[in-house]
Structure formats: C-alpha cells, structure tokens
Amino acid sequence: MRSAHKFKVYDFTETVPGDSDTPAREQVVAEIVQRLEPFRVDSRPVVGATVITKDLNIDSLAVMDMVMELEDRFDISIPLNDVAEIHTVDELADAVLRKIGGH
Amino acid sequence: MGILDRHLHLLETHRAMQATGADPLVVMERVLSPTEAVINGRRTLLVGTNNYFGLTFDKACIEAAIEATRAEGTGTTGSRTANGTYAQHAALEAEMAEFYGKKHCMVMTTGYQANLGIISTLVGEGDYLVIDADSHASIYDACKQTQATIIRFRHNDPASLEARLRRLKDEPGNKLVVVEGIYSMLGDTAPLKAFVEVTKRYGGYILVDEAHSLGALGERGRGLVEEAGVLDEVDFVVGTFSKTLGAIGGFCVSDVEGFEALRVATRAYMFTASLPPSIVASVRAALKIVRKDGAVLRKRLWDNVATLYDGLAKAGFRLGPEHGPVVAVVMPDQMTTVGVWQALMEAGIYVNVAVPPATPGGLCLLRCSLSAAHSRGQLQHMVEVLAEVGHRFGVLPQERSAAVA
C-alpha cells in the first residue's frame, strides 16, 4: 500500500544518477523480468517476447507503477504516452535503453 | 466481438456483488435531509455523500435557487461562449475570485469538466504534465486529451516529484504539476508546501484540485492552499460546487496573466451548456454562508471527523492515515467489503463501496464522508453498528491499531 507522506522515508538508493556505465541490454531485461515475476500466469517464464498486458496477470495501474520504478532505477523519463505503444518485455527494454542513450 | 465486450468484465464484477444480495448502485428513493434518505424502503443514515457543510437543504440556498428559476428560467440552453453567460455567472466568478484573492475565475458546468478542460488546455505539444500517481479520473482523462508529455510521480512524494523535474530540467517545454488537496479515496492531504517549493525551484507551474478541501481546510475555508500557506504561490486552484457548496459545477481561479484566453480555448467550457440559474444562485448563497459562518461549520465538521475516526480507530479498524472529511475504512477483500456494506445497509447506514481499480494500492474500502450536519449521536451509532458488523465478519484485528502505514 502507498504510504502517506507523514510516514514516508525518502529513499534515493534506488536511483543511480551520475552512473556513467550504460547498463547492458541483459541487465535491463533482467530488471524488467524481476519486476514482472509476481504477475506470472501458471509457471510460464517471463521472457523478452512476453506480451506484458496479455500474457501476465497485471493491470494497467501496475504497469504504470513498474514504469515509475524503472524511471528511478535508471534515472530516465518514460512518459505515459510511450507506455501505450509498448507491448513486450523486449520493447520496454528497448525504450529504457533508448532513454538511457538520451533519445 | 460485440461493441461492448471489452466492458463485460466490469459488469461481471457488479453482478458478482448483486449475487450476494448487495447492490452498491443504490437508488435514493427519497432524500429527507443532508444526513438521511429512504433507500430500499428503509430510513437510512447517510455517511457517504461529500456534503461536507450539509448545505443542500439550507433555506437561503433553496430560496435563492427558486427565486432564480422564477426570474431566469430552468436552464440557459447554451454555452458560456454563446448565450449561456448571464449576469449571475459573471457575478459568481467575481465572488469566487475575490474569495481566493485571485484576479481571474472561470466557472464551468462540473468539477470533472473543470479538471479535464483546464488541465488539458494549459499544456500542449512540447509541454510536460507531471501528475501524482493517485490522481482522480478527471486528471487522468485530461492526460488523454492533451498533446503534452505525461510523467507520473509517486503519490504524495516530493522527492519523487523532484527527481522527475530534475530529469526534465533541460527540456524546453512548460511543466505543469497537478496535485490534490485531499485525496478522495483515503482522505490523505498532499505535502503541498514541499510540492510548491520543488515545482517553483524547477520553474514549473502548479495546479491544486481542492474538490474535497474547499470549506474544510484553511482559516477562511479556502482549502489546503490556505492551510499550507501557499495560496499566493499556487498558479491555479480548481474546485467543485458539488460538495461543500451543495450543488454542482466547477471553477478555476488564478493570477496567471493571459488566463482569459482559456475561455476561448477550453473545449469543456465552450462546447457544453452553462450552469442553470438555480444552481448559480444556490452556489452564490452557499459561498456567502462559507464566508460568514464557515468557522462554525468547519468546527462542527472536524468535531464529527474526530467522533467517527477516533471511534472506529478505537474499535480496531484500519483507517486512512489522517483525520479528514473523508474517512476510509480498510477491508480485507472485495467480498468482505460488499458483505459489510450490505450489513450496514440493512442496519440503515449508507457509505460508499470503493474497490480497485478506483482505489490506490489495490485497497478495498468502505469510504465514509462526514458532514457538519451530522449529529454526534448519529456517528456514535455508526461506530457501534460498524464495530458489531466488523466482529461478525471477522474484520477487526486482535490488536487495537489504527492508521494505515
């Protein structure tokens, strides 16, 4: 549950500003897969080709929350406008890498 | 595939509730007062109507509405930008602007349209709309209608907002930050002073939706912007006439130069009929009451908040994080929520059912809202009934803890 501000401890440890090393594609995919694991259907693994809102038991709100986490993890902006165009784990990883690359 | 197939799952959720004998889509068969109605043939205490000052049956408001109907008719039959601006609409705008000490005010037909229209028009292509993750549907719908780029930050988290504004600091477009005074589901208030400070530091504009805080917060009832001491720094305040002011309608006040351009650019203002004379008249009368007797009504409201919140906390319920005109009671799951709700209805008490996706964090809630018109006895009765029902449904935990952390 989201906490109210009164009880919130601000946490920057997830953010990696100034990290000059561009993460490898595998690392980005791994970060996404790890966040999607809880939404797996049956025992089918989450892979690059997994269609996020179709193959997983996840609603649009949880997808938006995961995107917010990835923004902080990689210190990038991923607008909601772009999220509508992203379907698979691979596409999301590409979007993250493009943003890290400054596009 | 049928044209409505994509919505069938919503209907199924509703039918699953109906199958248990409960139907949260109630019909108010007869409304008796701000705090009582007849529902399912039963006299029912209303603790979920957002009627914060209980002004819906105020004599002065009713008389003003009747008088205006006799004088000016039942409706304006036209847009504010055509034949729908009467002297009264302009007078209400001047009075709202004066109330907030701002130069400009636009009055719209609903609060939903005010958010939808104003927000989607303020920002456009190349701009950034930066919203709290738990924003109301009207704000999310504005996101769909604007050409601006949408960025979302963690609910009530100034550090999360700051991280996002920092990432955008070299982008040329305008940045508009949107937050709410009191959030409608859990009743929590925004850390507004910090939000304003961060927004201004990064050169952004900030809009505050005071739908649930007008009248309830601030020394003169001007909402969280007044309570937090940031009225002068906030660029736009949006609000509604449908809660504390007891009618319907929306508004936006501002000091920003060029504000009047919104009148000829905001589609939700231009392409809908304006408020009928009766509504404008009752809202003006209600605003007078807020300005004259607001302190008394506010004290009554907050005394009632304390009676319900503290009573339910003491009984052991898990509640929203702070005292406020909205008191959310956390339920373990959807079926229990509906079961407890139905038991309350059978005991003659109405509250709102709030379940995902309308709620933050996937919470199932019984959402209560208080009124200055409630008597202490009515609320003590509700605490007793809900405690009994809570025990019956196994909702109450062993230890007596209160706040949602």
In chain B, what are the domains?
Answer: 5-56+294-392 (3.90.1150.10), 76-275 (3.40.640.10)
Closest CA to B138 of B9, B240, B222, B10: B240
**Continuous segment of H or E residues that includes residue B400:** none
Rounded to the nearest angstrom, the minimum Cα separation between A7 and chain B is: 7
The answer to whether residue A90 neighbours chain B at the CB level (below 8 Å) is no
The fold of A25-101 is 1.10.1200
> What 3-state DSSP class applies to B318?
coil
Whether residue B155 and residue A2 make contact (CB cut-off 8 A), yes or no, is: yes
Residue B245: its pLDDT value, please?
98
Residue B263 has which token pair?
A: 């009148």
In this structure, what is the dihedral angle of CA atoms A54, A56, A58, A62, given to the nearest 10 degrees?
Answer: -100
Q: What is the mean pLDDT of residues A81-87?
A: 93
Q: Compute the distance between CA of residue B388 and CA of residue B405 in angstroms, rounded to an integer.
A: 25
- What does the block give as tokens for B184? 């409608």
Token digits for B269? Answer: 């203002």
Q: Give chain A's length.
A: 103
| pLDDT score of A18 | 47
Q: Is the separation of the CB atoms in B269 and B263 below 8 Å?
A: yes
What is the DSSP secondary-structure string of A52-85? HHHHSS--HHHHHHHHHHHHHHHT----HHHHTT
Contact B44, B349 (CB under 8 A): yes
Q: Please check whether residue A72 touches B, CB under 8 A.
A: yes
Nearest by CB to residue B163, choosing from A6, A15, A65, is: A15
What's the whole-number average pLDDT of chain B?
Answer: 96
Residue B326's beta-bridge partner residues?
Answer: B369
The rounded distance, in Å, linking the Cα atoms of B243 and B249 is 10
Residue A40 has what DSSP assignment? Answer: -
* DSSP output for B54-85: -GGG-HHHHHHHHHHHHHH-S---SBTTTT--
| Residue B81 Cα, gap to closest chain A Cα (Å) | 32
Contacts of A7 in chain B (CB under 8 A): 321, 403, 405
Secondary structure element (H or E) that encloses residue B32, with its range: strand B30-33
**pLDDT at position A4 over 70:** no
Can you tell me the distance from the alpha carbon of B370 to that of B348, in angstroms, rounded to the nearest whole number?
16
Nearest CA in chain A to B404: A3
Token pair 């807020």 is at which residue?
B290
Mean pLDDT of A16-29: 74
Place of tokens 């990064």: B202
Q: Are residues B231 and B101 in contact, defined by beta-carbon separation less than 8 angstroms?
A: yes
Phi then psi for B82, rounded to 5 degrees? -120, -110
Q: pTM of the predicted model, to two decimals?
A: 0.93
Q: Give B-chain residues touching A80 at CB under 8 angstroms.
A: 143, 150-152
Distance CA B142, CA B47 (A): 30
Q: Determine the pLDDT at residue B403.
A: 52
A75: exposed, middle or buried (Cβ count in 10 Å: 0-12, 13-18, 19+): middle
What is the average pLDDT across A68-78?
A: 96
Query: Residue B59: is its pLDDT beyond 60?
Result: yes
Token pair for B119: 């927000």
State whether residue A5 is helix, strand or coil.
Answer: helix
The domain locations on chain A are 25-101
- Give the H/E segment covering residue A96: helix A89-100
CA angle B82, B243, B288 (to 5 degrees): 75
Burial code (b: 16+ CB inside 10 Å, e: under 16) for B27-64 equals eeeeeeebbbbebeeeebbbbbbbbbbbbbebeebbeb
Cα distance from A63 to chain B (closest Cα, Å)?
Answer: 12
Of the listed ranges B20-34, B211-225, B260-274, the least confidently predicted one is B20-34
Mutation target to probe the A interface, by most A beta carbons within 10 A, among B167, B322, B327 is: B167
Residue A7 predicted with pLDDT over 50: no
Q: Output B93-98 pairs: Cβ under 8 A, ≥24 positions apart.
A: B93/B251, B95/B284, B95/B287, B96/B251, B96/B253, B96/B287, B97/B253
Per-residue model confidence as pLDDT tens digits over A24-62 = 999 999 999 999 999 998 888 999 999 999 999 998 889
| % of chain B with per-residue pLDDT over 70 | 98
- Among B143, B151, B403, whose Cβ lies nearest the Cβ of A77? B151
State CA A64 to chain mean position distance: 9
Q: How far is CA B284 from the centre of its chain?
A: 19
pLDDT in tens, B138-158: 999 999 999 999 999 999 999
Residue A34 CB partners (closer than 8 Å, separation 6+): none
Q: How far apart are CA B226 and CA B268, in angstroms?
A: 28
Residue labelled with tokens 């501002």: B254
Write out chain B residues lying below 8 Å of A74, CB-based. none
Give, as one character, the DSSP assignment of residue B292: H
Closest-CA distance, A48 to chain B, in angstroms, reads 25
Distance, CA of B224 to CA of B230 (rounded, Å): 8
pLDDT digits (tens, 9 = 90+) for B308-329: 999 999 999 999 999 999 999 9
Report yes or no: A88 and A48 within 8 Å, Cβ to Cβ: yes
| Amino acid making up residue B360 | P
Q: What is the pLDDT of residues B197-233, one digit of tens each?
A: 999 999 999 999 999 999 999 999 999 999 999 999 9
B186 to chain A, closest Cα gap in Å? 9
Q: Does A38 touch chain B (CB under 8 A)?
A: no
A82 residue type, one letter = D
pLDDT of residue A21: 65
Per DSSP bridges, beta strands B42-46 and B349-350 are parallel
Q: Count other Cβ atoms within 10 Å, centred on residue B99.
A: 18
Give me the mean pLDDT over the B389-400 stretch.
Answer: 80
User: Is the Cβ pair A3, B321 closer than 8 Å?
Assistant: yes
| Chain A residue at shortest CA distance from B156 | A5
Determine whether the interchain pair B167/A76 forms a contact, defined as Cβ–Cβ distance below 8 Å: yes
